Chains A and B, each alone.
Chain A
Amino acid sequence: MNWSLMLESIPALLYGVLATVQLLVLTLVCGGLLALPLGIVAANGRPMSRLPVMGYITFFRGTPLLVQVFLVYYGLSQFQIVRSSIFWPVLREAWFCALLTLALHTAAYTANILRGAILAIPAGQKEAAVALGMRPLLIYRFVILPQALRIGMPAYGNEMISMMKATSLASTITIMELTGTANTIVARTYAPYEVFVSAALIYLCVAWMLSRLVRAIEARLSRHMRPAVEAQNNLRRVPAHA
């Protein structure tokens, strides 16, 4: 182990992790927005609209992410229509392709989680809302989605961490995120242990932070389910409850 080399590579790696986090956040936001309608259709849609959504979910869950990345980044250029379309300047960009693929990928997984969560909600909840005369939009906003969020959160936490790891595949299409940066440093210094292990440690830190974040969100989403005594104690301990 060459410790000084390890220390030297850390600033560059931290710069790389910025790109990783940026990619991750954008991926989760875009993927989540896409997953919301898809998950609802997959859970409650008519058979005709459910079929394509389930096909989408099956394809993106059943094929390796690397293939998906290459399909978008290299594959689309095979078609003249794509190359002469107005989207080409964006689709030529490796960064945008990485984001697009990762977002489509996580949307499939997230939609599947959401579908399971919606189906896990007791039918009585929806029936009660209908009996109260609530419209579908209102039922989703106030009855179904809040509960689905809580049910799906543990699985979504795992999905967030697995997407954090998946951003490393962006390095295969020239994106200089954490893995890409580590790879170039290794190619220059030929010290794989020091650099890759530092990168792995940084990934572990990010994974740990993500899991803490998910646990905090989970606790917040299920705060009404905690025993009353504990909730009181918590209130006493934290007077200015944010």
Chain B
Amino acid sequence: MDLLQGWGDEIAHGTLLTMKVAVLSLLVGLCWGMLGALAQMSPNRTVASLGRGFSLVMRGTPELLVILIVYFGGTVALTKAVNLFVADFGFVEVPPLQAGVFALSLVFGGYAAEVLRGAWQSVPTGVIEAGHSLGLGWFVMFVKIRLPLLMRFALPGLGNNWISLIKDTSLISIVGLHELMGLSQMATSVTRQPFTFYMTAALIYLALTLANTRLIAWFEGRLMRGEGRSAA
């Protein structure tokens, strides 16, 4: 491509890495979110307040700061740990990819925990009682009754957090990951054309978020089928 001066394939690779990082953070983050939601609903008060505290901290701290804490903190911890076993091993760096995914998954988990807890508590008790009266066991109850409703209630919130997550992956470039944003920075420093490359990156991010918004809307519609008449 002429406009991108041969950086087209690098940017394509960066886009792939961005998507990979986002999906990884989503999967790990959903685990954090489920743990957080379970903790918040725990009858044990200490566990419940730990769960609430987790969400509070993750929602109130800038994503950039979480990434910096995990990256630099992890590097210091890892260096200390390795030097404990191997004297004078020197500096051990946490790879930016792992640090970034871990940090963003924590942030996503903090938001997802709140969404999942809200969704779990929105399942009407009557539905659960109806299930009990039919003699359904715990597993069938969960898979056939709770899960479909849970997904229906949680999807709008999780969808918003997923879109934010896609955009937040750009922050990992600050600790040196060469995803879409990192590669755009690199291309900029070589070609001296910041606007061209940052605008390209912006448009790619825009395409990603718009496509995912459509995907979520489609998925929401699918989950809502069977709920009254089809959308007019």
Q: A interface vs B, CB < 8 Å?
A: 58-59, 61-68, 70-71, 74-79, 161, 165-169, 171-172, 179, 182-183, 186, 190-193, 196-197, 199-200, 203-204, 207-208
Instruction: Pick out which of these stretches binds chain A: B30-38, B120-128, B197-205.
Output: B197-205
Contacting residue for A192 out of B69, B193, B198, CB 8 A: B69
24 A–B contact pairs at CB < 8 A? Answer: A59-B206, A62-B209, A62-B210, A63-B202, A63-B206, A64-B169, A67-B170, A67-B198, A67-B205, A75-B199, A77-B194, A78-B193, A79-B195, A168-B64, A168-B65, A169-B64, A179-B62, A190-B76, A191-B76, A192-B75, A193-B76, A196-B65, A196-B73, A199-B65
Q: Is A196 within 8 A of B72, CB to CB?
A: yes
Number of A-B contacts (CB under 8 A): 122
Size category of the binding interface on chain B? 35 or more
Q: Is B174 within 8 A of A192, CB to CB?
A: no
Closest-CB distance, A101 to chain B (whole angstroms)? 12
- Find chain A residues with CB under 8 A from B66 CB: 200
Contacting residue for A203 out of B60, B198, B199, CB 8 A: B60
- Find chain A residues with CB under 8 A from B230 CB: none
Q: Does B56 contact A (CB under 8 A)?
A: yes
Q: Does B98 contact A (CB under 8 A)?
A: no
Q: Is A165 within 8 A of B76, CB to CB?
A: no
- Find chain A residues with CB under 8 A from B69 CB: 192-193, 196-197, 200
- Find chain B residues with CB under 8 A from A58 CB: 206, 210
Distance, CA A172 to CA B173, complexed state (A): 11
Interface string of B158-191 (1 = CB under 8 A from A): 0000000001111101100000010011001000
Closest-CB distance, A25 to chain B (whole angstroms)? 17
Q: Is A67 within 8 A of B181, CB to CB?
A: yes
Q: Is A71 within 8 A of B57, CB to CB?
A: no
- Find chain B residues with CB under 8 A from A67 CB: 170, 181, 184, 198, 201-202, 205
Closest-CB distance, B80 to chain A (whole angstroms)? 11
Q: Is A208 within 8 A of B64, CB to CB?
A: no
Chain A interface, >50% SS class: helix
Q: Is A183 within 8 A of B68, CB to CB?
A: yes
- Find chain B residues with CB under 8 A from A61 CB: 209
Distance, CA A32 to CA B90, complexed state (A): 51
Q: Is A200 within 8 A of B57, CB to CB?
A: yes
Closest-CB distance, B171 to chain A (whole angstroms)? 6
Q: Is A203 within 8 A of B61, CB to CB?
A: yes
- Find chain B residues with CB under 8 A from A169 CB: 62, 64, 171
Q: Is A171 within 8 A of B64, CB to CB?
A: yes
Q: Is A179 within 8 A of B65, CB to CB?
A: yes
Interface centre among A63, A76, A183, A199 (most CB of B within 10 A): A63
Q: Is B206 within 8 A of A62, CB to CB?
A: yes
Closest to B79 in A: A190
- Find chain A residues with CB under 8 A from B60 CB: 161, 165, 203-204, 207-208
- Find chain A residues with CB under 8 A from B173 CB: 66
Q: Is A70 within 8 A of B198, CB to CB?
A: yes
Q: Is B68 within 8 A of A192, CB to CB?
A: yes
Q: Is A71 within 8 A of B202, CB to CB?
A: yes
Distance, CA A218 to CA B209, complexed state (A): 31
